[in-house]
Amino acid sequence: MKFSLSWLKQYLETDATIEQIAATLNAIGLEVEGIEDPAEKLEGFRVAKVLTAARHPDADKLQVLSVDTGDGAPLQVVCGAPNARAGMIGVLGLPGATVPANGMVLKKSAIRGVESNGMMCSTRELELGEDHDGIIELPEDAPIGTPFAQYHGADPVIDVAITPNRPDCMGLYGIARDLAAAGIGTLNPLPVEDIPGTFPCPVEVRTDDAEGCPAFYGRVIKGVKNGPSPQWLQDALKSAGQRPISALVDATNFIMLAFGRPAHAYDLAKLSGAVTARRAGEGETVVALNEKTYTLDAEMTVIADEAGAHDIAGIMGGQHSGCGDDTADILLEIAYFDPTRIAKTGRKLNLTSDARGRFERGIDPQFLDTGMALLTGLIVKLCGGEVSEVVRAGAAPSTPRIVHFEPSLVAKLGGVAVNPAEQKRILESLGFSVVEADGWAVTVPGWRPDVDGAPDIVEEIVRIHGLDKVESVPLPRAEGVALPTATPAQTLERRVRRAAAARGLQEAVTWSFLPEAPALAFAEGEPWVLANPISEDMKAMRPSLLPGLLMAARRNLDRGASALRLFEIGRRYLRGPGGASDERLALGLVLAGEKTPRGWATGKAAAFDAYDAKAEVMALLAEAGAPVDKLQVMGEAGPQFHPGQSATLRLGPKNVLARFGMLHPRIARQFDIDGPVALAEIYLDAIPGRKGAATFARTSYAPPALQAVTRDYAFLVAASLPAADLVRSVQGADKVNIVAARLFDDFRGQGVPEGQKSLALEVTFQPLEKSYKDEDLKAIGDRVTAAAAKLGAVLRG
């Protein structure tokens, strides 16, 4: 929020400098984003008098002026303004000055062969208005030689960032109240002048939407004369970044900026019948003051008459009923709107305004009559007119919030000792009332909807007392080496990330938000869709890491990347039981492009396949501590994967640890990717923890003393039997002696019966205390063939 120093001093009696005020604002939690001092922009410009004016010898539209700057000898200046003449007083920019409008640095120069020592300036060039038809003409008593910034009365402008929890500071009077509480000055009383009505209000005002608009006040002012507002009001609005429009509109904007109370003035001649706050009709339209048409629904509140809706309540007025230069009679409207309704309506319509920003944060519900009196008094002062009585429909919430408070909480929660008497002074200066009986009963003022409990009261006291007075105290630390702070989940994530990078995979970091279509393609149910997204491309929370990685892969492939090995560790966002949010840690993997490039030894380039994805998954699962020797390969991985070229890795039928395979061609087309893509997803949260182990610490490796023995076995099995089932069964045949089993051949052809296949396994036996004898090896081999026989496997001759 922006405001000028002189405007602030209308409500705050203070002799503090602009620097002291800015420092105090920062100290009490109202961050100053910047200070604009117009005097700096006007440095080098001086009040000067034109002594003589003669035609330029080589240009009909230029004049050569002799200008008195108060320094003795006159300066010669070439000027093209039509109103430049001898005897006038204007503003001269001296060499070295910078023109505010265009940043041009003035210097001594020759114009058409005649020396010019500066420039006589217009209001537009000094950014004091839009007039550019001639140079500035000052009164005859303007002091010659005075710096123009000093003569003009340049007023510094402060820009303060208001956090969403401080709606009271969305009005300048609230900022002045905070400064007064901090000891920077004295708060002036509200400039309220009660103007009683001289006739009954001729317009019926009512609210038919008690939920959206609990209170709706109105009054008529007849015989107003609209026109430009006075200079002081225009200057105030300009300092706040507002464009002056007319006296009636400027008055409502001034009350909103000064006191945080939005209001609206209707041209009474453009209204018909009763004026009502009601729900909008489904599909009803309003042409707002920004000249855009908005289609409303039944969850929105409007201000309407018998002809139809005029305003989007609490957000923006309608173009049809706005005040113009010919407006003679007006209806003033001040209402209390439900903050939640205003926020939802603004988001649905994608419509922001100063009024919405205040209503959705929370307007003081007890400020209706005071706001009406302030606005009425200002309009009568500016535009005249005869005032009606006030019509009040409904009632704003009036139950005060009372907080039980103990002064000792300030030291306990805030870490600073503040005398109870000082605590009471601070609270009362901020508008709270304090009753000391069995602890304190603190009544919260209506303009502070953010204060809910005792901790909020502590915050108010501490920030006004001084956050810089809170002593920095280090946290206690035990002697010796600090204990590890990473959780098992964090340790797991770090290990897997390092392992993936060590295997040559490149880490990607993608958005947690996706366009809706890619999210739906990988969602198992309904994905989370944001009600107020940053953009349409960031509308849905990702149900999987794979769509983000596929989009990253496509961007890289489109830019000529020949091979991609991308992985990402992050959260996927699912819908839990009852619609609750369910976040799961996962690792996504995408392999695209050429696995190996073409070459004289390798021949054609080779693409990635499902086995490459499986190999990466198995290696990363092993690094994560998963029992990879017990994993089962089961079923298809989902509709996003190619049928027959994908699977899941499970511990039992229900606990899925990962899925891998080739991308389905349909999904590849959706993501606009050409060529085969292998991908996988590891569900890190599904990996069971190690029993009795809180960390991933490993014991030191001690190689066996005796040499291992390997034996090869070839089995005839049903063609439908997964090879992994046979490997798992063989490895479990003798858990003491068999330390490894791996498949090295899968043959189907001559010599193998129809419907069967030959699987060859290399099995490793590891002796422990003594070397094997022949009968030991035969016993182990018998256990191997017996375990295989349970799956219908027959040892080949």
| Annotated binding-site members for Mg(2+) | 450, 456, 459-460
CA 380 to CA 398: how far, in whole Å?
29
Three state DSSP letters for 78-108: EECCCCCCCCCEEEEECCCCECCCCCCECCC
Beta bridge partners of 593: 563
Residue 521 contacts residue 547 (beta carbons within 8 Å): yes
Q: Beta strand pairing status for 756-765 and 709-718?
A: antiparallel
End-to-end CA distance of the chain: give it in Å, rounded. 90
Residue type at 578 in one-letter notation: G
Q: Of all helices (H) and strands (E), which one includes residue 150? A: helix 148-152
DSSP E strands: which ranges in 686-788?
A: 709-718, 738-747, 756-765
SS (H, E, C) 254-290: HHHHHHCCCCEEEEHHHCCCCEEEEECCCCCEEEECC
Q: Tell me the one-letter amino acid at 66.
A: S
What's the rounded Cα separation, in Å, for the pair 481 and 495? 23
Closest CA to 222 of 256, 255, 254, 269: 269
Find the helix or strand (DSSP H, E) in which 491 lies: helix 488-502
Q: Which two tokens stand for residue 478?
A: 């035990």
Nearest to 67 by CA among 43, 91, 40: 91
What is the total residue count of the chain?
797
Helix (H, G, I), strand (E, B) or coil at 454: helix
Euclidean distance between CA atoms 427 and 454, whole angstroms: 12
- DSSP state for residue 439 in the 8-state scheme: S
Chain centroid to CA 529: 16
* CA–CA separation, 756 and 765 (whole Å): 28
DSSP states along 640-671: TEEEEEEEEEEETTTEEEEEEEEEPHHHHHHT
Radius of gyration for the alpha carbons in the chain, expressed in angstroms and rounded: 40
Binding residues: 450, 456, 459-460
SS (H, E, C) 28-88: CCCEEEEEECHHHHCCCEEEEEEEEEEEECCEEEEEEEEEECCCCCCEEEEECCCCCCCCC
Nearest-5° Cα angle at 439, 437 to 443: 80
